[in-house]
């Protein structure tokens, strides 16, 4: 019987070693390769043709979010399971939107990871219980807000701060300096707020902020 081919992507060798050792104990799953960042994972897909990719979120050169987005576009038949210690909304929702088929916490039991691999291989989705709870809570929050509520009110305080600074013309690095956060965190909040507002370029973002009185001219 053919085994499920898995590419393990994480910048920590000890994590990759542990996952590969775990997969070796199964009778139907095998680790066909290891990548240390998203860019390397993309390069290895053509050669190894994995059916499932285990993807860390925070890695050098190319993080898990960007890698997942590119894999979903270039290799839609390849399923991505995000395996990470971060369970906040700001991490979970963008990766799901990027095309991930599964999201497993690094705190989960090994049996949960194996189940996730088998599930996404069959064409299903898989979410750790803690992640599923976030989705339910988010849906309930939106339902309580009501259809008529201004979507701007659903932005977090940090997202509103970044919206204002972006509309004022500040660069990512400038915003990071002003708010004393990393440029990567700024980009993550920017991605989230633009997705919520369904706005995809800086000009439309400025027009929206102007319309809402967030900035003036």
At 148 the pLDDT is: 42
At 138 the pLDDT is: 67
pLDDT tens, residue order, the chain (217 aa): 789 999 999 999 999 999 999 999 999 999 999 999 999 999 999 999 999 999 999 899 999 999 999 999 999 999 999 998 876 666 777 888 889 999 898 888 899 999 999 999 999 989 887 777 777 776 666 555 554 456 677 788 888 889 889 888 888 899 999 999 998 999 888 888 888 888 877 777 888 888 887 876 5
Q: Are strands 102-105 and 52-55 parallel, antiparallel or unpaired?
A: unpaired
At 101 the pLDDT is: 92
Q: What is the pTM of this model?
A: 0.64
Of 98, 103, 71, 72, nearest in space to 87 by CA: 103
At 147 the pLDDT is: 47
Planar angle of CA 71, 73, 79, nearest 5 degrees: 45
Of 39, 105, 48, 27, nearest in space to 69 by CA: 39
Beta bridge partners of 8: 34, 54
Kindly list the structural domains of the chain, giving each domain's residue range(s) and its CATH number in brackets, ordered by start: 4-134 (3.40.50.2300), 150-211 (1.10.10.10)
At 73 the pLDDT is: 92
What would the DSSP string read from start to end of 29-80?
Answer: EEEEEEESSHHHHHHHHHHH--SEEEE-SS-SSS-HHHHHHHHHHH-TTSEE
């Amino acid at each position: 019987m053919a085994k499920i081919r898995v590419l393990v992507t994480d910048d920590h060798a000890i994590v990759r070693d542990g996952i590969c050792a775990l997969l070796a104990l199964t009778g139907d799953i095998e680790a066909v390769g290891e990548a240390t960042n998203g860019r390397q994972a993309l390069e290895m897909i053509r050669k190894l043709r994995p059916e499932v990719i285990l993807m860390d979120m925070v890695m050098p050169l190319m993080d898990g979010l960007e890698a997942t987005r590119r894999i979903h576009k270039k290799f839609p038949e390849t399923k991505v399971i995000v395996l990470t210690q971060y369970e906040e909304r700001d991490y979970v929702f963008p990766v799901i939107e990027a095309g991930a088929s599964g999201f497993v916490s690094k705190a989960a039991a090994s049996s949960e990871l194996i189940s996730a691999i088998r599930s996404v291989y069959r064409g299903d989705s898989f979410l750790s219980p803690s992640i599923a709870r976030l989705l339910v809570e988010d849906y309930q929050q939106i339902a309580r807000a009501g259809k008529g509520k201004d979507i701007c009110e659903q932005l977090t305080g940090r997202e509103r701060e970044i919206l204002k600074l972006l509309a004022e013309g500040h660069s990512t690095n400038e915003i990071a300096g002003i708010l004393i956060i990393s440029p990567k965190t700024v980009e993550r909040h920017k991605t989230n707020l633009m997705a919520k507002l369904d706005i995809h370029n800086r000009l439309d973002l400025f027009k929206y902020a102007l319309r809402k009185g967030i900035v003036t001219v």
